[in-house]
């Protein structure tokens, strides 16, 4: 049955075992509806029975009838076990700073529901269903971005995520910021009263940092292809050689990413009349590294991304609570799966790699604007002097690259003990993930500037024509940004090019490896 004139969304099974980046993206971007599987319900119910038995017994079980963190030795009476869970969520909602974006919050909701569906947390099926219902209804809790050190997981962000579920906090619904209880009511959902263990089940884990890193990885997938596409256009505008992209070179150093980028670059430049025009008599034997070493640099970024995606495939389907419930044995075991080190390292490595993607891009822009190398008009503009052309566009790229160098400093090497030194080594994974997303956003801007410069360079070489795929890229840009003739405001051009890289360029990217 259609909804509001649109067909219903396809269902996506949530079972704690099969989530991947493609499925994550489909839910987060509203292209699929998450549905809990019957098998997951059975696992959740079995673990819940273990917790209920523990709550009715006399033995101390962390998070069930004890305090938390350094207060784990404090026993809680049976009459206060539910109050304990609500107060845990309220007290841990201590975040600050600008709120996370709605897609980031949607990622957190999905990942938290998915980890709970593993059946190692001891919550009720009803709680997991309510998280998925919030996703389906577009109830997006307001989650401050700062406050997690990534030790017992992302405690503060996840506590804020849980507030509307219990009728507290704030949430966005249809773009309107509302009290949490009102947002739930408008969506036709009622708040829950947390049962034993459920407060801890909502806030103990790595789902904030993992959601942010998953989104950064999805952006990085596009950026590595954009870099090949734009880098090829720069190579042609600079009358570079395609010899360095010969498959034989890369077969004898067969890193997968390097071979993929080299194949893209060779394919993109094939058939260029610009290349053919200087194949004979070109005095340059070798191009600068920013051209010649694109396969090695772009490819290394691809390989880091592949490793990050492998880490995400594990973490998105991991049980990250403490204690964990093992229903078959009827036991609860305390451990440290909430520690964010694997994700913190992955976010730091990806930020470093993406920063290099921008760094080499800016060098190509510099070559394009530098008449000493390019043999094009100074700063890519006729009547230079009266016109400054792309002079300051390259400066903007340099500023963004410098910012990325600071942001690429690893967060995971830092640790500040918390909770009266009980949590004496922390991951800083949330900050690593926040920085990584900022780096990715800067990379897109730097590549947008390079695209503008490369297209201008190709225009200045007419009547020589570039290759067919690069001509399509050039034509696509020219639908949004005209050739630079006399000086005008550059910022709108950069914004238009960046907007093109954010979506309209996708059909061209789909043709690349």
Tokens encoding 490: 């550059």
pLDDT tens profile 472-489:
999 999 999 999 999 999
CA distance 17 to 396: 44
Residue 177 has pLDDT above 70, yes or no: yes
Residue 157 near residue 97, CB atoms below 8 Å: no
Q: pLDDT value at position 104?
A: 98
Choosing from 145, 171, 205, the residue where a domain stops is 205
Over pLDDT 90: what percentage of the chain?
A: 87
**Dihedral sign for Cα atoms in the order 295, 400, 147, 104:** negative
Segment 166-178 shows an average pLDDT of 98
Residue 499 has pLDDT above 60, yes or no: yes
Segment 241-257 shows an average pLDDT of 97
Q: pLDDT value at position 284?
A: 67
Residue 26 has pLDDT above 70, yes or no: yes
Choosing from 148, 179, 205, the residue where a domain stops is 205
Q: pLDDT value at position 33?
A: 96
Q: Are residues 91 and 124 in the same domain?
A: yes
Q: Are residues 389 and 243 in the same domain?
A: yes
Separate counts of helices (H) and strands (E) for the chain: 21, 9
For residue 326, being part of any structural domain is answered with: no
Among candidate residues 79, 334, 332, the one with its CA nearest the CA of residue 196 = 79
Q: Are residues 499 and 413 in the same domain?
A: yes
CA distance 283 to 294: 21
Q: Are residues 314 and 454 in the same domain?
A: yes
Q: Between 162 and 9, whose confidence is greater?
A: 162
CB atoms within 10 A of CB 388: 14
Choosing from 205, 224, 257, the residue where a domain stops is 205
Q: What is the pTM of this model?
A: 0.95
For residue 190, being part of any structural domain is answered with: yes
Q: pLDDT value at position 1?
A: 33
Residue 469 near residue 267, CB atoms below 8 Å: yes
Q: What value does the mean pLDDT of the chain take?
A: 95
Q: Between 84 and 398, whose confidence is greater?
A: 398
Q: What's the number of domains the chain is made of?
A: 2
Q: pLDDT value at position 64?
A: 84
Q: Partners of 36 in the beta sheet?
A: 14
For residue 3, being part of any structural domain is answered with: no
Residue 42 has pLDDT above 70, yes or no: yes
Q: pLDDT value at position 2?
A: 39
Residue 3 has pLDDT above 70, yes or no: no
The CATH code of the domain that includes 73 is 1.10.275.10
Q: Are residues 129 and 267 in the same domain?
A: no
The CATH code of the domain that includes 236 is 1.20.200.10
Which of 62, 68, 338, 431 is an active site residue? Answer: 62
Largest CA distance in the chain: 89
Cβ partners under 8 Å of residue 328, min gap 6: none
Three-state secondary structure readout of 125-174: HHHHHHHHHHHHHCEEECCEEECCCCECECHHHHHHHHCHHHCCCEEEEC
Q: Is 289 an annotated catalytic residue?
A: no
For residue 84, being part of any structural domain is answered with: yes
Binning pLDDT at 50, 70 and 90, where does residue 5 land? low
Residue 330 near residue 416, CB atoms below 8 Å: no
Q: pLDDT value at position 73?
A: 81
Q: Are residues 374 and 289 in the same domain?
A: yes
Segment 506-510 shows an average pLDDT of 95
pLDDT tens profile 357-391:
999 999 999 999 999 889 899 999 999 999 999 99
For residue 342, being part of any structural domain is answered with: yes
Q: Are residues 161 and 32 in the same domain?
A: yes
Q: pLDDT value at position 307?
A: 98
Residue 34 near residue 137, CB atoms below 8 Å: no
Residue 283 has pLDDT above 80, yes or no: no
Question: Among 14-18, 58-62, 121-125, 163-167, which is the least confidently predicted range?
Answer: 58-62
CA torsion 124→127→128→131, rounded to 10°?
-170
Segment 74-90 shows an average pLDDT of 89
For residue 114, being part of any structural domain is answered with: yes
Q: pLDDT value at position 8?
A: 87
Give the range of the structural domain holding residue 281, as residue numbers without chain letter.
213-321+336-509
Q: Are residues 282 and 431 in the same domain?
A: yes
Q: Are residues 59 and 113 in the same domain?
A: yes
281: left (phi over 0), alpha (psi -120 to 50) or beta: left
């Amino acid at each position: 049955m259609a909804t509001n004139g649109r067909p219903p969304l396809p269902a996506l099974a949530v079972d704690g075992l099969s989530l991947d980046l493609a499925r994550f993206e489909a839910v987060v971007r509203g292209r699929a509806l998450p549905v809990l599987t019957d098998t997951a319900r059975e696992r959740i119910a079995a673990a819940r029975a273990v917790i209920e038995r523990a709550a009715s017994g006399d033995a101390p079980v962390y998070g069930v009838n004890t305090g938390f963190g350094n207060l784990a030795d404090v026993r809680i009476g049976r009459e206060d076990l539910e109050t304990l869970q609500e107060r845990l969520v309220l007290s841990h909602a201590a975040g600050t700073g600008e709120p996370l974006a709605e897609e980031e919050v949607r990622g957190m909701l999905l990942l938290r529901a998915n980890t709970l569906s593993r059946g190692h947390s001891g919550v009720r099926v009803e709680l997991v269903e309510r998280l998925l219902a919030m996703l389906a209804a577009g109830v997006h809790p307001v989650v401050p971005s700062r406050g997690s050190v990534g030790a017992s997981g992302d405690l503060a962000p996840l506590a804020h995520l849980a507030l509307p579920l219990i009728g507290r906090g704030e949430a966005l619904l249809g773009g309107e910021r509302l009290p949490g209880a009102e947002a739930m009511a408008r969506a036709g959902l009622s708040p829950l009263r947390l049962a034993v263990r459920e407060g801890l089940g909502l806030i103990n884990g790595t789902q904030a940092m993992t959601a942010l890193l998953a989104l950064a990885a999805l952006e990085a997938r596009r950026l590595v292809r954009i870099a090949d596409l734009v880098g090829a256009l720069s190579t042609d505008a600079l009358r570079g050689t395609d010899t360095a992209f010969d498959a034989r070179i890369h077969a004898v150093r067969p890193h997968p990413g390097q071979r993929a980028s080299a194949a893209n670059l060779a394919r993109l430049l094939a058939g260029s009349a610009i290349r053919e025009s200087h194949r004979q008599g070109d005095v340059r034997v070798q191009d600068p590294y920013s051209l010649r070493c694109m396969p090695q640099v772009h490819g290394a970024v691809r390989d880091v991304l592949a490793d990050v995606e492998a880490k995400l495939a594990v973490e998105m389907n991991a049980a990250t609570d403490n204690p964990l419930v093992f229903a078959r044995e009827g036991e609860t075991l305390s451990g440290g799966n909430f520690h964010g080190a694997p994700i913190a390292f992955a976010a730091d490595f990806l930020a470093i790699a993406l920063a290099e993607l921008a760094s080499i891009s800016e060098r190509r822009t510099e070559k394009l604007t530098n008449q000493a190398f390019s043999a094009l008009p100074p700063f890519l503009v006729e009547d230079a002097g009266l016109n400054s052309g792309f002079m300051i566009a390259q400066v903007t790229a340099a500023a963004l690259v410098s910012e990325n160098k600071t942001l690429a400093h690893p967060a995971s090497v830092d640790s500040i003990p918390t909770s009266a030194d009980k949590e004496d080594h922390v991951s800083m994974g949330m900050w690593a993930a926040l920085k990584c997303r900022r780096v990715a956003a800067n990379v897109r801007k730097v590549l947008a500037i390079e695209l503008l410069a490369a297209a201008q360079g190709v225009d200045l070489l007419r009547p020589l024509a570039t290759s067919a795929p690069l001509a399509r890229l050039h034509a696509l840009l020219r639908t949004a940004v005209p050739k630079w003739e006399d000086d005008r405001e550059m910022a709108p051009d950069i914004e238009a090019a960046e907007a093109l890289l954010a979506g309209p360029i996708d059909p061209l990217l789909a043709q690349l490896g």
